[in-house]
């Protein structure tokens, strides 16, 4: 309980830092006044119209990616599963490219449906390919890698053939929170909230799935139904996160591993920890990206990759990646 309270406190501190740090420092007092007594000054406008939606978007995207990664690792019993490795993000990305290039859609309200549709198709394709001859975690990972490579090739071909699509896509594909505004956040909240509720209620069933399908069925778990609901939660969460900020790697892969090291193998604790820890990592990465390359910014997707890759390699090399 103390560790959970500590994590919430850390998240609160990071949120305040995200509101204060940028091309110039705005103190917590000014931030508070901008949020409660808006006067229209430059500082108030920066906080209310730029940093506030960017921070809320970071909370939504981080929670969605951390939770979707934890659900995928639980339902597949594969510690290497995440929306990136199993093709979900690639499916969402290729669908967004289609939305831009074929249908001229340039808003999240249009993106999000394409992103979730693409994520759903990719998830089903990976499962069907990985299920040939019997489903195993390794086969699912290989199928995900193959489908991701295929979809990545389609995305590259489509953007290279259409310069206008490439110009819009290249800012989105690196993973960024800088384009978020109040409209995007408001549109994303219902989807993320639905995915969070659905994922959190699956904790007990994911614990039973970890015992194996036969034993889970003997305990009364409806295995197929739980997998369908888990897939729905992943599609909604990962699809919405990808629509908001573009593909952001390693967050859904590494954060549940860290949560598992802290709280143990119980999915009822891993899921909420992943939901809270991932926004901490994502917002810290975004803050670092704002200050390390001044006056320009380093996109958050690049920073998470730079941080996440060595972190995950360190976890694997220390052989502390807990079994599911």
Q: What is the pTM of this model?
A: 0.85
- pLDDT tens digits along 46-86: 999 989 999 999 999 999 999 999 998 888 777 777 777 77
Q: What's residue 174's pLDDT?
A: 63
What does the alpha-carbon distance between residue 230 and residue 227 come to, in Å, rounded to a whole number? Answer: 5
Q: What's residue 104's pLDDT?
A: 76
Q: What's residue 269's pLDDT?
A: 92
Contact status, residue 175 vs residue 89, Cβ threshold 8 Å: no
Q: How many CA atoms lie within 13 A of 217 on its CB side?
A: 6
Which H or E run contains 217? helix 213-218
What does the alpha-carbon distance between residue 96 and residue 116 come to, in Å, rounded to a whole number? Answer: 9
Q: What's residue 150's pLDDT?
A: 85
Q: What's residue 211's pLDDT?
A: 80
Nearest to 228 by CA among 204, 186, 250, 198: 198
Task: Name the stretches of the chain with pLDDT < 50.
Answer: 321-324
């Amino acid at each position: 309980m103390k560790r959970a309270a500590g994590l919430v406190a850390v998240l609160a501190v990071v949120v305040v830092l995200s509101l204060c740090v940028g091309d110039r420092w705005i103190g917590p007092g000014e931030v508070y006044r901008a949020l409660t007594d808006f006067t229209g000054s430059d500082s108030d406008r920066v906080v209310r119209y730029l940093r506030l939606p960017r921070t809320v978007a970071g909370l939504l995207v981080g929670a969605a990616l951390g939770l979707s990664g934890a659900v995928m690792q639980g339902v597949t019993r594969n510690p290497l599963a995440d929306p990136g490795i199993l093709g979900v993000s690639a499916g969402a990305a290729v669908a967004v490219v289609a939305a831009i290039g074929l249908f001229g859609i340039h808003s999240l309200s249009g993106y999000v449906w394409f992103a979730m549709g693409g994520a759903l198709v990719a998830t089903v394709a990976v499962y069907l390919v990985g299920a040939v001859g019997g489903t195993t975690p390794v086969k699912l990972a290989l199928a995900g890698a193959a489908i991701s490579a295929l979809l990545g090739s389609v995305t590259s071909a489509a953007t290279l053939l259409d310069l206008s699509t490439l110009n819009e896509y290249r800012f989105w594909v690196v993973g960024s929170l800088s384009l978020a505004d109040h409209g995007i956040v408001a549109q994303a909240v219902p989807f993320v909230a639905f995915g969070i509720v659905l994922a959190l209620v699956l904790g007990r069933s994911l614990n039973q799935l970890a015992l194996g399908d036969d034993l889970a069925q003997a305990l009364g778990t409806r295995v197929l139904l739980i997998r369908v609901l888990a897939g729905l939660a992943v599609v909604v969460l990962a699809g919405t996160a990808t629509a908001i900020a573009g593909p952001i790697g390693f967050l859904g892969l590494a954060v549940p591993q860290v949560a598992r090291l802290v709280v143990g193998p119980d999915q009822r604790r891993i899921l909420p920890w992943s939901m809270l820890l991932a926004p901490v990592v994502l917002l810290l990465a975004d803050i670092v990206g704002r200050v390390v390359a001044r006056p320009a910014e380093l996109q958050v997707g690049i920073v998470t990759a730079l941080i996440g890759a060595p972190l995950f390699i360190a976890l694997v090399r220390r052989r502390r990646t807990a079994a599911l």
